[in-house]
Structure formats: C-alpha cells, structure tokens
Amino acid sequence: MILANVTDGRKTFVLPHDSYCLTRGRCACVVCLPLGRKRPAVLSLDEGQERAVSRAVLSVPEVASAVRRGRLRIGDG
C-alpha cells in the first residue's frame, strides 16, 4: 500500500515492536551496535511524500489516528 503525507510538515512515527513487528510477522527493529540492543523502526514522510509501506503500519495507533484525521492518505500500490 502507499502512504502519503498530505500535511505541510514532516511526519515521523515510531513503529513499536509490540504492534508493528508482530502484525507484520517479522521484526523490523534496528540493531544498535556495539551493544546489540534493538530499537524500533521509524517511518518518516516529508510533506507531500508518498512511500510504499506494509499494511502493518495501520496497527500503530499514531499512524491509524493520522489516517483518520486526514493527515495521511492511503493509496494502492
């Protein structure tokens, strides 16, 4: 699916393991070296930017809220 930022500014969303990765079916977290700790992935969209993303992003409450409020638009892709 395509996710588009239709606002005048950059939107950044943390993609928590407990919602995004589990819904996606595989981990998207980033391993930070040298300690090997995992950090959640992040989705950033500049104003007007469109990006192909997994439908699992809709499991992230902040993303779902932004879609409902019309700040992000979903398209087919």
Within 13 Å and on the Cβ side, how many CA atoms surround 51?
14
- What is residue 35's predicted lDDT score, i.e. its pLDDT? 84
Residue 77 has pLDDT above 80, yes or no: no
- What is residue 57's predicted lDDT score, i.e. its pLDDT? 97
Mean per-residue pLDDT for 48-57?
96
Q: Helix or strand or coil: residue 77? A: coil
Q: What share of the chain is helix, strand, coil (3-state, %, to 5)?
A: 25, 35, 40
Question: What gap in Å lies between CA 5 and CA 73, rounded to an integer?
Answer: 7
Q: Helix or strand or coil: residue 59? A: helix
Domain boundaries, the chain: 2-75
Residue 48 has pLDDT above 90, yes or no: yes
- What is residue 76's predicted lDDT score, i.e. its pLDDT? 85
Is the separation of the CB atoms in 41 and 75 below 8 Å?
A: no
The structure's pTM equals 0.89
- What is residue 23's predicted lDDT score, i.e. its pLDDT? 95
